[in-house]
Structure 1
Amino acid sequence: MMQEINSSQQAIDLEDKFGAHNYQPLPVVLSRGEGVYLWDVEGKKYFDFLSAYSAVNQGHCHPRIKDALIEQAGTLTLTSRAFYNDVLGPYEKYITEYFGFDKVLPMNTGVEAVETAIKIARKWGYEEKGVPENEGIIIVAENNFHGRTTTVISFSDDENARRNFGPFTAGFISIPYNDLNALQKAFEKNPHVVAFLVEPIQGEAGVITPDEDYIRKASLICKTHNALLLADEIQTGIARTGSLLAVCGNCNCEGHCEKQDTYTRPDILILGKALSGGFLPVSAVLADDAVMNVIQPGQHGSTYGGNPLGVKVAMTALEVVRDEKMAQNARKLGKIFRERMQLLVERSPLVSTVRGKGLLNAIVINDRPDSATAWEICISLKENGLLAKPTHGNIIRFAPPLVMTEEELHSCCDIIEKTILNFK
C-alpha cells in the first residue's frame, strides 16, 4: 500500500532516502495539474513555466486526451508487436500524413527515438550509400542534448553526464553549432559521413537559436554529400516554437508545408515529449521509404513501442494541437513574452539577454555559469507562484503550456518582473 503524503517535506525526505539522486529538483512537491496550473501538496497554486520540458504542450490533464486514455485503457493496452492490433495501423497512417512522411517507427522515450534514428542512418549508409561496414560517421553539434544513454553521452560535451560512464561509442564527430563552414569541412575530411544529427534549437543548452537559414543550408550540404539530415524535434516540435516543427522556420501554416520557402524537410524526423500530451512515454521516428525500408523484421523493436494505449493517446494529442491552433498561439504569445522580457533587460542589470522562438524562451542571468544566482531566482519565482528551472548555470528557460492565454501570460510576466526587480 502506498504511503500517504501529508507534507512536502515528507515527500522530499522519501525521495532522498529511497530514490537515486540523479536529479536536483526545486523544493516543491506537486500533486495536481490542470491546464497551465500546478498545485503542491499544501494546495498552493503555481503557473507552470517548464511544461515538463515541453512534454505537456497541450496543458496538464487535457480532458480530450484523458478521455482517449481512459477509453483505450479499458479496451486494450498492450499486445507487443508479436501481433497486429487495430489501433497501430490507423495511427501510422495518421502521423505520417500529419507530418508528411512515408513511414513511422514507433518507440517510447525520446532518447530511444534518437538511438533508433542513429541505427537507421548507419544502416542506410552501409546499404544505400555504400560506406564500408562499421565506418559510418555521424556529425553532431557541440552543446547538444539528445538524452543520456551510453551511445548518446558518447558524443556529448557535458562532462557531468560523461564522467565515469565510459568506454564510449565511437563514430561521431562534434562541430560547433550554427557553423556551416565547420559542417562543410567535416564532410570534406570524412567521406564516410552518413548523417548530421542536430536540434533546430538547442533547448537544454539554453535555448540557443541559430541563424534563420542554418537548418536549410545544413540540409543542402547534407544533400551535396549524400548524407541524411536527422532533426531532433523532441523538445522543439509539436507547435512549441510557433509552427508545427521548428524546421518550418517562419512558416505560418497549421502544419508542415513544403511550399513554404522556410520549411526544411529532414530525412529523419525525431519526435517525443508532447507527442502524448504528457500522459505516457510515446516517441516516433519518421522517414520516407528510401530510408526507412533498410529496417527489416527482427532488426529493431520495443515491447511497448506502438502499443495501443500510447498510439491512441498520441493521435488525440496531435488532434488537440491542430484543433486548438496551438502553434498560432505559441507564435503570438512568444512575441509578446520576448517584448516584455526585453523591457526587463533594459530595466535590470541582472538580466543580460532574452532569446527564443514561439513559447520556447530563455533569459540569461548576468552572473557566472557556476554561480547560484539563477537557481535562487527560480526559488524566488516559486515563492511568487511561478515554476521554472535553470539550465547551464546562469540561464532560466521559460516554456509554458501552449494553452496559455494572453492574460495569463501577462500575469506570468508580471511575476517574473517583480521577482527580478526585487531580487537581492
Structure 2
Amino acid sequence: MVPKIVVTPPGPKSRELAELQRKYVPKAVYNVTPIFIAKSEGSILIDVDGNEYIDFATGISSLNIGHRHPEVIEAIREQLDRYLHLCFHVTPYEPYVRVAEKLANLAPGNFEKRVVLVNSGAEAVENAVKIARRYSGKPAIITFEYAFHGRTRLAMSLTGQIHPYKYGFGVLDPAIYRMPYAYCYRCSFGLEYPACNMRCIEYIRNTLSVHISPDEVAALIVEPVQGEGGFIVPPKEFIQGLRRICDENKILFIADEVQSGMGRTGKMFAIEHSNVVPDIITMAKTLGGGLPLAATICRADVVDVVQVGGLGGTFGGNPVSCVAALKTIEIVQRYLDNVPKLGSILMGRLKEMQEKYEVIGDVRGLGLMVGVELVKNRKTKEPARELRDKVLSECHRNGLIIMGAGAYHNVIRFLPPLNISEELLNKGLDIFENALKTSLTK
C-alpha cells in the first residue's frame, strides 16, 4: 500500500478534535503532530480527514512490526473469546507464564532467569531498581547523562534531562549518581574516539575509588543505545567497560532495552552487539504488539530474594497483551534478517545527505534505530534546534510521521517498521530530504 501523500494543513475534523483537546486535555500532554489518526495499517497512517502518512515513528518504537499486524490481530481476537482480565495474583493464566518462559530463554546469559510482567517501561525500570536494592541491601544507583528511563518518580530521577521531564516536580530520589555517557560526537572530555582510550570509563572507575563507595551502589542502569537522549550509540568498549566495573565492585548491571529492544537494532536485544550479559533487562513498547506490556527480566538468584507479594500489580501481564506479545516476538524473530539490509539503505541515504548538507553534523545508529544531529556549524557543533523543528513540521505537512530527540533538541530520529518495504522507506527519505531543503531556504 503506497500512500497518495497529498497532505494539506490539518483538516476540519483534526481542527475540531484539537479544539476539544485544548479544552479538556492538559497542555503538558504533548503531541508531536497536529493530526488525529483514524486508521493504521502496516507502515501507513490515515488521519480523520483522509490524509495518508508514512510512519517513521512507530509509536516511539512500540510498533516494530508495523501497525495491526494480521497475525497479532488474530491472536487478540482468539483471546477475546476466552477471557480479558484475570489478575495474575488471584487466578494465574497460561499466557503470562508463556511470555515469561519465552523472554527468559531469549535474553542473553547462560543462567536461570525469572520474568516480572508489568504495564509500562517506567514500571519495568522501577521494578528493576527495587529488585537490585532488595538483593544487594544497598541504596545507590548509577545512571548516565542524557539518559531517559521514564516519568514516574524513581524513573524520572534516573532520567538525565531536566526540561521537560523533571522540572518543577519536587524532590527526586536522592540516591542517584550520574556519570558521563560515551557520546563521542560531544565527548564530555573533549577527546576523540578511539584515541580517547575510553576516558569516560576511567572517569567512572576513578569516581568509584575516590568519591562514591561501591559498598553503597546497588546497580548501574544504562541504555545500550540512548533513545530520548539523541540516539547515541556508544562504542562497544564502553558497554564492556561498564560490565567490568560492575563485576569488580559487585554492582548489578541493568540494561534498559525499552526503546532499543525487540529487534530494533537488528538483534532482539541491543546489548547483544557488545556481547555483554546484563543481570537485569527492562523491556516494553513493541513487546505488547500495540498493547500495553512491559517486562523485567532478572537473574533468578537476584530476584528470588524478594519476599512473596513484593512484586506485581493488578493489570501486570494482562492476558490479551500476553498473547499479542507471544505472536509479536515470533514475528520480530522472522524480521530480524530484514534489519541489516533496510538499515544499510537508511544509513546510506542519510550519509549521502550528510555529504550534501553542512547542517547534518552526525549520522549514527544501529539497524533501524538511526539519528541525524543538526548543527549550525560543523566546527562548533552548535545545535540547530529551530531548524530541527522546521524540518519536522515540513515532514508532517508532506506525509511523513517522524520525531525529534536529544538533550539539545536538535536530533531527528528514524524508527521505521522492521518490515517496511524498500519503496516506502525510500519514499519517506525523499520526503525528509525535501523537507530539509525547504527548511534551509525559509
Structure 1 gap ranges (5+):
250-261
3-state SS of 1:364 partner = strand
Query: 2:13 is matched with which residue?
Result: 7
Report the Cα distance in structure 1 between the residues aligned to 2:435 and 2:411, rounded to whole angstroms.
Answer: 15
TM-superposed deviation, 1:104: 0.4
Match of 2:351 in 1: 342
**1:177-192 to 2 correspondences below 5 Å:** 177-178=181-182, 179-188=200-209, 189-191=212-214, 192=216
SS of residue matched to 1:7: helix
Query: In the alignment, what sits opposite 1:211?
Result: 235
The CA deviation at 1:89 is 2.1
2:372 corresponding residue in structure 1: 363
Moved over 6 A (4+): none
> Which of 100, 103, 106 does residue 95 from structure 1 map onto?
103
Which of 275, 288, 295 aligns to 1:284? It is: 295
Q: Secondary structure at the match of 1:316?
A: helix
Structure-1 separation of matches of 2:154 and 2:132 = 14
1:78 paired with 2:92, answer no
Answer with 162-171 or 234-243: which moved more.
162-171
Contact (CA 8 Å) 1:114, 1:270: kept in 2 or not? yes
Number of residue equivalences: 397
User: Which amino acid letter does the alignment assign opposite residue 418 of structure 1?
Assistant: N
Q: Unpaired runs of 5+ in structure 2?
A: 1-10, 183-199, 377-381
Give me the whole-angstrom Cα distance separating, in 2, the residues matched to 1:295 and 1:173.
24
1:401 aligns with 2:417: yes
Q: Does residue 142 in structure 1 map to residue 156 in structure 2?
A: no
Q: TM-score, normalised by structure 1?
A: 0.90
Give 1:308's match in structure 2, choosing from 319, 338, 348. 319
Structure 2 residue corresponding to 1:46, chosen from 29, 42, 53:
53
Corresponding residue SS for 1:105: strand
**CA distance 1:163–1:422, shift in 2 (3 Å):** closer
Of the candidates 57, 64, 71, which is equivalent to residue 64 of structure 2? 57
Deviations 1:279-317 (A, max 9, x none): x11000111211110222121211011222121111111
Distance of 1:26 and 1:227 partners within structure 2: 42
Give how far 1:404 is off: 0.9
1:122-181 Cα distance to aligned partner (Å, 9 max, x none): 01111xxxx4xxxx2110001110011111222333222222211111111001012212
Q: Shift of the alpha carbon at 1:370?
A: 7.2
SS in structure 1 at match of 2:117: strand
- Partner AA of 2:266 in structure 1: G
Which residue does the alignment assign to 1:420? Answer: 436
Using the size of structure 2 for normalisation, the TM-score is 0.86
Q: Is 1:238 the counterpart of 2:249 in the alignment?
A: no
Q: Does structure 2 conserve the Cα–Cα contact (< 8 Å) formed by 1:242 and 1:331?
A: yes
CA distance in 1, matches of 2:384, 2:17: 28
Aligned mates of 1:94, 1:49 — CA distance in 2: 28
Please name the residue that 2:6 is paired with: none
The code of the aligned residue for 1:68 comes to: A
Q: Give the match for residue 151 of structure 1.
A: 154
- Determine what percentage of the aligned residue pairs are the same residue: 31
Equivalent position of 1:226 in the other structure: 250
Match of 1:259 in 2: none
Equivalence for 1:253: none
Choose the corresponding residue for 2:22, options 1, 16, 19. Answer: 16
Kept in 2, the 8 Å contact 1:243–1:331? The answer is no
1:331 Cα deviation (Å)? 2.0
Does the alignment pair 1:113 with 2:124?
yes
Question: C-alpha root-mean-square deviation of aligned residues, in Å?
Answer: 1.7
